[in-house]
Structure 1
Amino acid sequence: MSKRYFAAATLLACAVAGSALASDASDLGGKLTPVGAERAGNAAGTIPAWDGGITTPPAGYKPGGDYVDPYAGDAKLFSIEKSNVDQYKDQLTAGQRMLFARYPEYRMDVYPTRRSCALPASNYEKTKQNVGVAKLDPASSDLVNAVPGGLPFPLPQSGAEAMWNHRLAFEGVGRNVAGTSAVVDESGNFVPQKWEEVRLSTYYNPANTTFDALNNVQLKYFTIYTEPARLAGEEYLVHETLNGERNAWIYTPGLRRVRRAPTLAYDNPSSGYEGLATNDQLYMFNGRLDRYDWKLLGKQEVFIPYNNYAFASSAHRVRDLTKKNFPNRDLVRYELHRVWVVEANLKPGIRHLLPRRVFYIDEDSWRVVATDIYDSQGALWRYQEETTVNAYDVPTCFSFGQTFYDFQVGRYILDLAYNDDRRPDFHAEATGGATDDMFTIGYLRKRGTR
């Protein structure tokens, strides 16, 4: 089997080419999937055709419980290790190759590719309506028009358009989660950072049928830290905009007051992460695109974490996931998938700590699943990777863990781990777990002072 993967190691596009640029809206749902991915598999047979993904929960799934692994019976095909990594180098990101170079014990277990990602039918309809309608500001790359409820650019013509698909990847209308972040030291130890977050998507609220109805708000979210003591009680409120700067506020327990938080953006250090991550590294990338020039390089076949139901299971605690140097190799499933490759280079005269980034965007979910990050000297500095699961009760593909590596200091962060906490609620707008009154300054103040 591994020889087939080696034979298929190829860059699918060296410049902006690929199927999407030769397609139009009529191809969505035909030779392309409803979100613009190639429906067909690859020539080697190592990537299958998309058959609709998982749209209903498998037998045994109970709402509010762990996601049942529909692929639990899959046998591992092979492992990529230091001894054979050169055979697969063309299907690895620069960050993955660095992990093999630095850590002789690092490995990637490869399983059959399962194109499980799916979205509700209404999202497909709105995505098709966006072809020729969604627009970006050419100077800032802000979104200035779109049909709410669908991906804006299923046939991307630029890197910025592809990144907007990531920014607007569907994750349900309302979401209520409690999770853990772990800043892991050189010995594999960490102090758990516990937090709760509630999100409400204005863009995917079915009541908003026009772009103007959004009032320039993509989504609203509220985050509170509960552990450790040095962070407990710190709260954030964010109104993420579609164009212009985001609106953000912070409640600090020591000051006992709410204030604006303009630094909650770009390359300002993310709270609690000990300088190992910038604010716009969270969720693989978030915020405005205006500081970079974005280039769509084309597509590539890459081994990425996919269908990681074991990694997401509450049977494995966060302590089980976090090992020295990298997360537990026994719990991460890799598959070969096609990804869009987008290169971001800092605009001349603009400041940002991370001058060059290369993003790998899964064609089926439009989620950034890996990122190579370079320093001002052109050396690889950081690497990010997402472990994806199909939350088929929605349905949507969603991150159940993101890893941030810093090669200069030799440490990593495991973020968005829900293993030790209640299962994510992706229907919070219906269950009362995400209501519009939660996203006001008054609510933030009330939560902080009670």
Structure 2
Amino acid sequence: MKKTQLTLTLALALSMSASALAAVSADEAAQLGGDKLTEFGAEKAGNADGSIPAWKPDWKGPAMPENGGIYPDPFPDEKPLFTITGANVAQYGDKVSTGTRELLTRWPDYKLEVYKTHRVVDFPDWLKAATVKNATRTKSTFDGEDLEGAMGGYPFPIPKTGSEVVWNHNLRYYGPAYRSRFSGYMVDSAGNRIVTHDIDNYTDSPYHDNPDEEQSFYQRRFSTYVGPARSVGDKSLTYMVMHAKKDGNSKQWLYTQGQRRVRQVPEFGYDSPMTTAGGVYFFDELGMWEGQLDRYDFKLVGKKEVYIPYNNYKFLMHTSADDAYGKQFANPEKMRWELHRTWVVEATLKPGMRHAQSKKVFYVDEDSWSIVLYEGYDQAGKLMRTSQGLVTYDWNTKSVPNTPMVIYDLVKGQYATSMHMAGGTGYVRVPRWPNGKLTPDSMAGSGIR
């Protein structure tokens, strides 16, 4: 019995070791920055008919405030090339995702206004250099749940598995530390719009601030609620971890002004409902995906050309909430859709694991590595959620800030948004806060008394 157990243990160790060696070869990595691939892994060429253009580096939009803020719309005079509705969606085949097709067929007046495609995303030279190095030094461990050797850049510019694509989304570059003021809304099944949160948020990334050494955290957020009235003074502190197997899962602490104490959220992530958003989405649906990779098997389906929400400066930053959010869906006349290449990943719940969703499907933009479309399926395999990630690009810092989203609960007939910028401050770059300011004790000390 002991010999058998030892054999199994050694086999498992060898299996884990083998999976930890799954980096790309030097020959494959040599493609990065060459004729075919950018340093961060996107195809440089356009598509066959030119509807997706070739990528061009160092694109610059109009002048914006030095420290960021509300970004100007770089394409204010462009008009839609065509419109997709429930009546004509069939002619666009699988370029319309399942979740988007559901919205089009559910509501006759919902539509996609499709614009010229612009591939504006680029990254700083130091990040591209770090990404090229990561291609051969970063390894998946624990069946893709963790990674080792990743420093500063995208960990898997030439991904081989679905989990590697998701790690690229987790470690996407959203620039130096910034503060942002934004609001969230929930529209119920009767069409009533409710403010779920009004937040002054600080975000930084130790992973990108220290590109020459491995880090414990890839993102830290300190959020102070300035509305609605019932939440004023509440705070949250979130640490997103790089190595869950070694350091434990990501953590979140809450300071409740009414109770005047700090408590750690017992199970942060997975399918715990986001109560601050009216329960329309789960913790792991925030930002299109946020959480540990241990409950799902992530399959890399491949690449597809798909119509996705893109360059949504007008909707996100220049459209009031009254104009942006209708009784059933976000205003389609304010939202911009473009044709882009996306990586498609299917996440299937592992046997014995618990989650309200049996499957998740992600569409990940090849240029920004941001999840731009998402679908969540219930235990019966029925589509229950679909969401749209509103990607914008900061051409001053060559970064893609955190992804606001509009998410639809197709069962309850309601929807929510996480980060509406119009009326707020946008993304304002600030000096990085000292570590001592990003602790649970600091939350308590800065609370309203």
Report if TM-score (shorter chain) is over 0.5. Answer: yes
Q: Deviations over 1:3-35 (max 9, x none)?
A: xxxxxxxxxxxxxxxxx9997111111110111
Residue equivalent to 1:258: 262
State the shift of 1:429 in Å: 2.4
- Report matched runs for 1:298-317 at 5 Å: 298-314=302-318, 316-317=319-320
In the superposition, relative to structure 1, how do residues 23 and 154 fare at CA in structure 2: closer, same or farther (>3 Å)? farther
| Corresponding residue of 2:97 | 93
Superposed counterparts of 1:175-194, under 5 Å? 175-192=178-195, 193-194=197-198
| Equivalent in the alignment of 1:345 | 348
**Range moving further from structure 2, 293-302 or 323-332:** 323-332
Could you tell me which amino acid in structure 2 is paired with residue 96 of structure 1?
Answer: T
The one-letter amino acid paired with 1:233 is G
Specify the code of the residue in structure 1 equivalent to 2:299: K
Distance in 2 (alpha carbons) for counterparts of 1:409 and 1:382: 10
Task: Choose which of 106, 116, 123 in structure 2 pairs with 1:112.
Answer: 116
Could you say what secondary structure the match of 1:259 adopts?
A: strand
Which residue in the other structure is 2:55 paired with?
Answer: 50
What is residue 399 of structure 2 aligned with on the other side?
396
274, 279, 283: which one aligns with 1:279: 283
Quick check: 2:144–2:164 contact (8 Å CA) kept in 1? no
Residue 232 of structure 1 and its aligned partner are, at CA, apart by: 2.5
Shift, 1:61, TM fit: 5.8
Whether 1:243 and 2:243 are equivalent positions in the alignment is: yes
- Alignment partner, residue 370 of structure 1: 373
Structure 1 segments (4+ residues) deviating >6 Å: 20-23
Contact 2:134 2:149 in 1 (8 A): no
Task: Find the counterpart in structure 2 of residue 143 from structure 1.
Answer: 147
Contact in 1 for aligned 2:221/2:239 (Cα 8 Å) = yes
Letter of the 2:70 counterpart? D
CA distance in 2, matches of 1:186, 1:73: 35
Contact 1:158–1:295, Cα closer than 8 Å, also in 2: yes
Count matched residues: 420
CA distance in 2, matches of 1:401, 1:261: 23
1:168 counterpart residue number: 171
Deviation of 1:396 after TM superposition, in Å, equals 1.6
Query: Which residue of structure 1 aligns with residue 42 of structure 2?
Result: 37
Aligned to 1:385: 388
Q: CA deviation at 1:92?
A: 0.9
CA pair 155-23 structure 1, distance change in 2 beyond 3 A? farther
The answer (yes or no) to whether the contact 1:224–1:236 under 8 Å persists in 2 is yes
- Give the Cα–Cα distance (whole angstroms) in 2 for the partners of residues 102 and 297 of structure 1: 27
Alignment partner of 2:136 out of 108, 111, 132: 132
Alignment correspondent of 1:228: 228
Report if aligned partners of 1:312, 1:400 keep a CA contact under 8 Å in 2: no
Confirm or deny: 8 A CA contact 2:262 2:440 kept in the other structure.
yes
CA distance, structure 1, for counterparts of residue 448 and residue 64 of structure 2: 43
Give the distance between the partners of 1:44 and 1:23, measured in 2 at CA.
30
Structure 1 position 360 matched with structure 2 position 363: yes
Residue 217 of structure 1: aligned partner: 217
- Using the alignment, how far apart are the partners of 1:23 and 1:38 within structure 2? 17
Distance 1:21 1:136 in 2: 14
Residue from 332, 335, 353 that aligns with 2:335: 332
Q: CA deviation at 1:398?
A: 3.2
**Inter-partner Cα distance in structure 2 for 1:188 and 1:419:** 21
Is the Cα contact below 8 Å between 1:360 and 1:370 reproduced in 2? yes
Distance 2:111 2:140 in 1: 41
Residue 308 of structure 1, CA deviation: 1.3
In the TM superposition, what is the alpha-carbon distance from 1:121 to its structure 2 partner?
A: 1.1
Distance in 1, matches of 2:414 and 2:265, equals: 28
| Alpha-carbon distance in 1 for matches of 2:122, 2:322 | 31
Taking structure 1 as reference, are residues 313 and 250 closer, same or farther at Cα in structure 2, changes over 3 Å only?
A: closer
SS of 1:191's equivalent in the other structure is strand
Q: Is the 8 A contact 1:58 1:70 kept in 2?
A: yes
Compared CA separation, residues 49 and 356, structure 1 to 2 (3 A): same
Matched, 1:440 2:444: no
Q: 1:260 to 1:114 in 2, by over 3 A?
A: same
Amino acid at match of 1:442: D
- Residue deviations 1:346-374 (CA, integer Å, cap 9, x gap): 11000011220000000000000010111
The residue type equivalent to 1:185 in the other structure is D
Pick aligned residue for 2:422 from 419, 424, 427: 419
Range 61-70 or range 406-415, more displaced: 61-70
**Per-residue displacement from partner, 1:197-222 (whole Å, max 9, x unpaired)?**
1112110114x5211xx2x2222211
Partner-residue secondary structure (3-state), 1:151: coil
RMSD of equivalent CA atoms: 1.9
Q: Which moved more, 1:184-193 or 1:268-277?
A: 184-193
- Paired residue for 1:8? none
| 1:438 Cα deviation from its structure 2 partner | 2.2
Alignment partners' CA distance in 2, 1:277 and 1:23: 42
* Aligned partners of 2:262 and 2:443 also within 8 Å: yes
Structure 1 residues 23 and 166, CA gap change in structure 2 (3 angstroms): farther
Q: Which residue of 2 aligns with 1:4?
A: none
Specify the alignment match of 2:19 in structure 1.
none
Given residue 129 of structure 2, which amino acid in structure 1 is its aligned partner? E
Alpha-carbon distance in 2 for matches of 1:112, 1:229: 42
Partners of 1:366 and 1:351 in 2: how far apart?
A: 28
Structure 1 segments unaligned to the other structure (5+ residues): 1-19
Structure 1 residue 423: Cα displacement: 2.2
Counterpart CA distance in 1 for 2:260 and 2:120 is 46
Structure 2 vs 1, CA of residues 273 and 312 (structure 1 numbering), >3 Å: closer, same or farther? closer
Quickly say closer, same or farther: Cα 1:120–1:228, change in 2 above 3 A: same
Q: 1:21 to 1:89 in 2, by over 3 A?
A: farther
TM-score, scaled relative to structure 2: 0.89
Task: Give the C-alpha shift of residue 53 in structure 1.
Answer: 5.1
Counterpart of 1:46, as a letter, is S
Contact 1:91 1:302 in 2 (8 A): yes
Code of the residue aligned with 1:428 in structure 2: it is V
Return the alpha-carbon distance in structure 2 between the equivalents of residues 176 and 22 of structure 1: 39
Superposed CA deviations along residues 273-296 of structure 1, whole A, max 9, x for unmatched, are: 222111010011011111100100
TM-score of the two chains, using structure 1 as the length reference: 0.89
Query: How far has the Cα of 1:231 moved from its partner?
Result: 2.5
CA distance in 1 between counterparts of 2:78 and 2:109 reads 24
